[in-house]
Amino acid sequence: MNPRALAILLATRPAAPTSGRRNLGRPAILALILAVVALALGATSALASGFSLKVTAQGPATVGKPLLLNVTGTIPPEDIKYPYWFSMAAIPTTVLSTCPADHWTAHQIAISTGGAMITFDQRESADAAGAFGFAVGATPTAPGTVLLCGYTDDGETQTLAVAQLLLDIRPGAPVNLSKPRVKRAHGRLVCRPGRWANDPTSITHRWRVRGAKVRCVVTAKNAAGAATAASRPVSASRALRHRLS
């Protein structure tokens, strides 16, 4: 139980009578029961009054490139003396289109459905007005759309604020999966470009000749960038070196 919840519970406890014998009485017992019930119900609450949370991306998301996410929010000024925590889960949009209200539920779904935990139990340090802000880093590993779910919680069971962000992740620059190769075909040398990931939109090659050795250098490009890979050098006759495709 966090200090604020404990303070609420203790506030409902009546003082002991001067006779030395404690007698709660029906009104005090009822108040205590209601306080405990309120705390139990509050453990599953998605939002609490005075708390706010927002998550934004500092730029476009691209596979393989580090990305910073801005986290901002508010804590009620009267509550800044208590610790509150931030966590963020990444959930595939094929699983959910909106974030769960409870942070523990989001964490379990993310871990079990091919998503990930971006950060967990990061302290929200607020100023005197209750405002806080910090950056969270992430590096996307696959293209597509992912649901980012951010939460403020009390470090135990209570979710106090929820923020969500649909992040569209673009494919990264081409990545070579198998090297280019130089092959002989119909009396000529030809360059096989190899295999590439991340959907290149153009693939070009050039020849590099050093003495009797020949190799081809392939460049693959897409909107995210370019990458180059070279074949192993092969020996070629003078005639073949003048017949490069």
What are the tens digits of pLDDT across the range 171-229? Answer: 888 989 999 999 988 888 999 999 998 889 999 999 999 999 999 999 999 988 899 99
Q: What is the largest CA-CA distance in the chain?
A: 115
DSSP 114: T
Q: How far is residue 168's CA from residue 231's CA, in Å, rounded to a whole number?
A: 35
Query: Comparing C-alpha atoms, which of 105, 129, 125 is closest to residue 115?
Result: 105
DSSP element (H, E) containing 91: strand 85-92
**Among candidate residues 94, 140, 131, 136, the one with its CA nearest the CA of residue 119:** 136
| Chain segment 16-53, per-residue pLDDT in tens | 333 333 343 444 433 333 333 333 333 333 478 899 99
**What is the pLDDT averaged over residues 153-178?**
93
Contact (Cβ atoms closer than 8 angstroms) between residue 188 and residue 245? yes
Query: Selecting from 3.20.20.70, 3.40.1130.10, 3.30.70.360, 2.60.40.10, what CATH number does the domain 52-170 have?
Result: 2.60.40.10
Beta strands in 96-233 (DSSP E): 116-123, 131-138, 144-153, 159-170, 175-178, 181-185, 188-192, 195-197, 202-210, 213-222, 225-230
* pTM value surpassing 0.85: no
Domain locations in the chain as residue ranges: 3-42, 52-170, 175-241
